[in-house]
Structure 1
Amino acid sequence: MHLRQNTLSRKPNYLYASVLLIFISLICVGYSIVSRDDFDLARQEILLRKIGHELLLQSGDSTSRVLPVKKIAVNEYQISFENELTFQPDSLVNTIQSLLANGPFAPDYVVNVVNSDDASVVFGYAISKNKKDDIIACIGRRQPIGNYMIQIQFEPAGISLAKNEYIIGSLIALAIVGFVFLRTVKPRKSPPDSRNANLLTLGSMSFDAETRKLVINDKTIDLTRTESRVLHIFALSPNEVIERSQLQKEIWEDEGVIVGRSLDMFISKLRKKLEFDPNINIVVKRGKGYKLEISS
């Protein structure tokens, strides 16, 4: 029995340790995802610069630079060039599509070729994961030399997919752990104070049914077993009439003998012991029974 109690007492400790371990694991996974995001961002910039490099080569330029890639919005990037260039739309579409297929990008994106002189869009198209939703036009017309910028906007869900999965997974894991924890660990109820449970207040007196004592002004009055039983019945229903037959039945029936005058004798003895408080008295209700009167 003692071993079982020790096992049960250790159970909450195991649960606390499990919750802490899962929490630490989730934090570690979160840091790893953040690190992975940083790596993916660096890889994205390299791929975008490579797109610019390939477009320069297709334009016949192998010496000028691709300017640093700019992130102009949450999911939008801009590729700029040092010099002017020309491009063939179908080659641009194929080049960007083949390079982005190897990177950590969303499958849905929109590409706009902007003339930096007047901010006009000279060519644009949209690629979707579902090929039927692709929008590509004017692919057979070569564009003249100009100061162009390539702007690529990705589907937002693709960029934050890993984070969303991590957050959702973390919430589910914590919810499961919390549910199991709450089902397993029940709050301990403090045991009732047995002393207060048997202590009744009668005016300025305190009556302890268990120890069969009356206490008033630090004075203790001992009661007999029967006196205590009679007073306890009265104390549970103060200022209420209790029938004589009910008192006799509850006190003496289990002993097999009911004596009418015995009740009167115990009532008389109780009256004397209650005289220390003039606000308490046991009165007779003719034809009905007795009542413990307590006046304030």
Structure 2
Amino acid sequence: MNEKTTVLLAEDEIALGTIIQESLESRDFKVILCSNGEIAWEKYKSEQPEVLVLDVMMPKKDGFTLAEQIRKIDPFTPIIFLTSKGQTEDVVKGFGHGGNDYVRKPFSMEELIVRIHAQLDRRQLKNQQSDWLPIGKFEFHPTRQLLKFEENETPLTARETQLLQILLENQNDISDRSLILTKIWGNDDFFNARSMDVFITKLRKKLQKDPEIQILNIRGYGYKLVC
């Protein structure tokens, strides 16, 4: 990249924060490391980072509170939470406070870097939502909730649109089943999982005019849109 992407990293464990900073800088990111939420808030306002990586448990201002504060003035900059908490209710709380992704400690640096790149790609995709997005021989318009094949347009429901958008953002990669359920349905319980399976079936039927498009069920992980 010609111009370095700025990552604001808020992590109160100095040793871990330094490791993350050095790893990201070795991948050509510019990293602003903050040791607590209050410093991170001030740096966010002055530096305007492209991505925020926030530890949940921090002194002075925790990650959830900081994210909520940022979301009042900035609905778009991607926020990735770092946490040792693994309960579903914590994940739901994180998304409820404006998070885009959730990385559980301990994690590999490769995982974090991949997730940062994924959020940057998704933001770029969202910036193009006024346009038709290609899916094989189809075109998809998220804002208008439409699928188009040749000259024929097919309306989508709000949940079909959300689900297809997540699959498209992760095209040819696995979309995590639990994260989809949490983002769209609010939690990943059995009944919501069955509901999502129904919506996946509906999308498959609507996309079947192009045999090159597949929505694969990756057992134990999630779904993959291949086209």
TM-score of the aligned structures, taking structure 1 as reference length = 0.32
Which structure features the higher share of helix residues? Answer: 1
